[in-house]
Amino acid sequence: MLLFGASTVLFAQANDQCMTCHETLGDKVSSLFVRDVHKAKGISCAGCHGGDARKEDMEEAMNPAAGFIGVPKGDQISERCASCHAEQSRMQQYRSTLPVDQFASLASSVHGQLDVTGKQRILQCTSCHNAHGIVSPSNPASPVHPLKIVATCARCHSDASFMRMYNPTLPVDQLVKYRTSVHGERNAKGDPKVAECASCHGSHDIRPATDIKSRVYPTTLPQTCSTCHSDAEYMKAYRIPTNQYEEYASSVHGVALLEKNDLAAPACNDCHDNHGAIPPGISSISMVCGTCHVLNADLFGKSPHKQAFDAMDLPECETCHGNHAIVAATDKLLGVNEGAVCANCHAPDQNVKGYETAKLMRSLVDSLVHLEDVAKGLVEDAEQKGMEISDAKFKLREARQARLQSRTAVHSFDAAQFEEVIDKGLETAAVVQTEANDAIDEYYYRRTGLGISTLIITLLALSLFLLIRRIESRKQK
């Protein structure tokens, strides 16, 4: 029977013979249950174990006919919790505002799958909340309090033998990495606001990162991070920008991931790491970007800019490309014109060598773009005239490829090396232009020849016609 109100709570507690007996024994269970949130609500031992808590006689109190089930086992544990926590009417009796979908969420989560025995779920409610002495998650004594939940999750997730039974590929060093992160360091110092396991993965509805419904699925992860990092009031004490998500969403990376659903595009964790999340340091930023942009990072590491950036304590890739609001790498970024990043440091009277190099590189790129456009126009013209031009069209791709490769070669900041790449494109574009022109000339040659042939044939036909008329005229005479 469920009780309601302060008087009935006091009455139930005064008549809870289960607690009276267990407290007399001085066992651990009773000492824990004293501070249990359920006891505070007037729920006796019988609320979970069944039986009649009002009976002083043990046999009567623990009679199966009175509903006594003893210690719940396996899935029966969570089902006993759900008998109240999944029932809106029962939770309202205790003036609880807790959601009533936790059990359904657990059942559909990765933890709700069958364990290795195939007889019960991997986790039960008590696995995280404890069985006795359960307190609100906001209570520092709770195993799922923000300052304790990482240790609670680590009981399983740091146990290599245990995790091997379920997912051998899942790392077991998440806690160690977390403690090295900004979040983990602040959490260890007593800051309950920073992200912990449940902040990113959820509580009862945890799903694998490969599940599209997961909060850490690639296309969802930026929004998950944004829950805190875009909240100006929440982040005020940390003095960091709160517009990262907006910048990222409009960046070349964000557009690729969030709009084009390109799962290969980087999300927050690809640059900041997952559990070991930390802002990339000045000395490591190129290594972070270089995880994907390998050739760019290798060329930059051997370039004169590497030493210059190190001397000035400048972040590497970020200095030219930015961090969250990264724009698509177009030719406009190169050179000394307005909008070119080279002009931020190089001018006619400052860092002159770099200025001239940037100017030359842009000039070479513009030359290739112009010649490529001319060749492309000629190829299209030849195609429209019905000429076989497939070889030249294929070669045109090589010119475009050279232009794309130049965007990588620019990170060497070596004019000779850059020019070598551009020259290949210029040579190919020139060949394509010649072949297309030849095809067009062939078209006009054939057209002229066809015209002359048509004229000759027409004259011959006319002459033949006149000859026949003359012969017929003579016969009539």
Q: What is the pLDDT of residues 295-330, one digit of tens each?
A: 999 999 999 999 999 888 888 899 999 999 999 889
Q: 179 lies in a domain?
A: yes
Residue type, 274: N
User: Model's pTM, two decimal places?
Assistant: 0.82
Instruction: Please check whether residue 69 lies inside any domain of the structure.
Output: yes
Q: Which residue among 218, 245, 267 closes a domain?
A: 218
What is residue 239's predicted lDDT score, i.e. its pLDDT?
92
Q: How far apart are CA 5 and CA 259, in angstroms?
A: 53
Tell me if 385 is assigned to some domain: yes
Q: Domain limits at 208?
A: 6-218
User: SS3 of 347, please?
Assistant: strand
Helix (H, G, I), strand (E, B) or coil at 337: coil
What pLDDT is recorded for position 14? 55
Q: What is the largest CA-CA distance in the chain?
A: 151
- Which of these three, 177, 200, 218, is where a domain ends? 218
Name which of 112, 121, 74, 276 is nearest 202 in CA terms: 112
Query: What pLDDT is attached to residue 62?
Result: 93
3-class DSSP state of 350: strand
Residue 130 lies in a domain: yes
Give a yes or no: residue 39 inside a domain.
yes
pLDDT for the residue numbered 8? 43
User: For 114-127, b where at least 16 C-beta lie within 10 A, e where not — what string?
Assistant: eeeeeeebbbbbbb
Q: Which residues of the chain have pLDDT under 50?
A: 1-12
258: its two tokens: 């969030």
| Count of the separate structural domains present in the chain | 2
Residues 38 and 186 placed together within one structural domain of the fold: yes
Write down the pLDDT at residue 284. 72
**In a shared domain, residues 213 and 361:** no
Residue 143 lies inside a defined structural domain of this protein: yes
121 φ/ψ angles, rounded to the nearest 5 degrees: -70, 160
Paired tokens of 88 = 């809106």
Whole-number pLDDT of residue 4: 41
Residue 205 lies in a domain: yes
Q: Flag whether 224 is in a domain.
A: no
Q: Among 202, 218, 234, which residue terminates a domain?
A: 218
What pLDDT was estimated at residue 13?
53
The pLDDT score that the predictor gives to residue 303 is: 93
